[in-house]
């Protein structure tokens, strides 16, 4: 079964989510979910809900402004995104911090979607495999639980540029061959839309998508799920 997760980033109101839910119907053959801002984690959805980030601190405590994996789980999250490029490259999160957050999420009983991906500079130097392998090895959580990998080339996120299908296939095969876990699920992310979903899925080793911009529209997200059914 393919997996299609949306990432709403810093978008969405309760009203917008209600409208989205009214226009979306889950497909039995696709594992779907949405990573929502923390303000929406307690909403009802017929698909899985995930937090876009969790605190480096565990459970509860005097950490003003932080949201722990435990608190996210309490209100309904069943998954957490860890190491999204907007946090790694935009906010300077290190591999060790991402690892700590992922371990907290697993200990709280959340499924982890661990994001990795190279910058354009690294790709142009042909060093993407070594770069992604280091990210994976240094941020891989040492805890029991389910970890899914999302490969998202940084230069393809929110830019309308997608990686070449052959390059996506090569990277997914490379990650599978690292043997980080049995039957590892690897999603592709970066400007996925209803128009390019089928083409990207033709690459071997693509188990689904992490969709940003296009997940905000229920009809787009539904069409991507439909493509994942075929
Ligand atoms: P995008 O974002 O689909 O808007 O490129 C993907 C992501 O950030 O996960």
Which pLDDT band, with edges at 50, 70 and 90, does 127 fall under?
A: very high
Residues belonging to the active site: 84, 152
Give the Å distance between the CA of 32 and the centre of ligand 1. 16
d(CA 221, CA 227): 10
Q: Which two tokens stand for residue 47?
A: 């698909």
Nearest to 211 by CA among 186, 184, 188, 185: 188
What is the per-residue pLDDT across 160-208, written as a single tens digit (0 to 9) for each? 888 899 999 999 999 999 989 889 999 999 999 999 999 999 999 999 9
**Best substitution site from 11, 91, 189, 197 to test ligand 1's pocket, by max atoms within 8 Å of Cβ?**
189
Nearest to 127 by CA among 81, 91, 94, 174: 174
Nearest to 167 by CA among 221, 107, 122: 122
Give the Å distance between the CA of 60 and the centre of ligand 1. 31
Percent of the chain whose predicted confidence (pLDDT) is above 70: 100
> Using CA positions, which residue lies closest to atom 3 of ligand 1?
212
CA-to-CA separations, 73 to 27, 95, 142, in angstroms, rounded: 24, 23, 20
Give the Å distance between the CA of 65 and the centre of ligand 1. 25
Could you identify the atom of ligand 1 that is nearest to the CA of residue 192? 3
What is the per-residue pLDDT across 64-107, written as a single tens digit (0 to 9) for each? 999 999 999 999 999 999 999 999 999 999 999 999 999 999 99
Could you identify the atom of ligand 1 that is nearest to the CA of residue 159? 5
> What is the pLDDT, as a whole number, of residue 35?
98
pTM above 0.85, yes or no: yes
Give the torsion sign (CA, 90, 84, 82, 63).
positive
Hey, how many other C-beta atoms are within 10 angstroms of the C-beta on 107?
Answer: 16
What rounded mean pLDDT belongs to the chain? 96
> Ligand 1 site: residues with CB under 6 angstroms?
7, 152, 157-158, 189-192, 210-214
CA-to-CA separations, 128 to 99, 119, 168, 202, in angstroms, rounded: 20, 8, 11, 21
**Best substitution site from 190, 209, 214, 217 to test ligand 1's pocket, by max atoms within 8 Å of Cβ?**
190
Query: Is residue 57 predicted with pLDDT exceeding 90?
Result: yes
d(CA 115, CA 182): 18
Which pLDDT band, with edges at 50, 70 and 90, does 142 fall under?
A: very high
**Best substitution site from 152, 194, 209, 215 to test ligand 1's pocket, by max atoms within 8 Å of Cβ?**
152
Query: Is residue 112 predicted with pLDDT exceeding 90?
Result: yes
Give the Å distance between the CA of 191 and the centre of ligand 1. 6
Given a contact cutoff of 8 angstroms between Cβ atoms, the answer to whether 208 and 181 are in contact is no
**Strands (E) located in the chain:** 2-7, 30-36, 48-51, 79-82, 111-116, 147-151, 186-189, 208-211
d(CA 58, CA 189): 28
């Amino acid at each position: 079964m393919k997996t299609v997760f949306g990432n709403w980033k810093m978008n969405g109101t309760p009203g917008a989510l209600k409208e989205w839910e009214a226009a979306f119907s889950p497909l039995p053959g696709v594992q779907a979910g949405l990573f929502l801002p923390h303000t929406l984690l307690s909403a009802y959805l017929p698909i899985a809900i995930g937090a876009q980030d969790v605190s480096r601190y565990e459970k509860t405590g005097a950490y003003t402004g932080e949201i722990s994996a435990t608190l996210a789980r309490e209100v309904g999250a069943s998954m957490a995104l860890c190491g999204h490029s907007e946090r790694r490259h935009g906010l300077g999160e290190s591999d060790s911090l991402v690892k700590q957050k992922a371990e907290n999420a697993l200990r709280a009983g959340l499924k982890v979607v661990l994001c990795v991906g190279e910058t354009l500079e690294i790709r142009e130097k042909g060093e993407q495999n070594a770069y992604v392998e280091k990210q994976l090895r240094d941020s891989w959580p040492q805890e029991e639980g389910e970890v899914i990998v999302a490969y998202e080339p940084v230069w393809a996120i929110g830019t309308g540029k997608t990686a070449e299908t052959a390059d996506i296939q090569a990277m997914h095969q490379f990650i599978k061959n690292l043997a980080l876990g049995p039957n590892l699920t690897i999603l592709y992310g970066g400007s996925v839309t209803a128009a390019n979903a089928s083409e990207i899925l033709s690459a071997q080793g693509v188990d689904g998508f992490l969709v940003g911009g296009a997940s905000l529209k229920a009809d787009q997200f539904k069409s991507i799920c439909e493509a994942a059914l075929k």
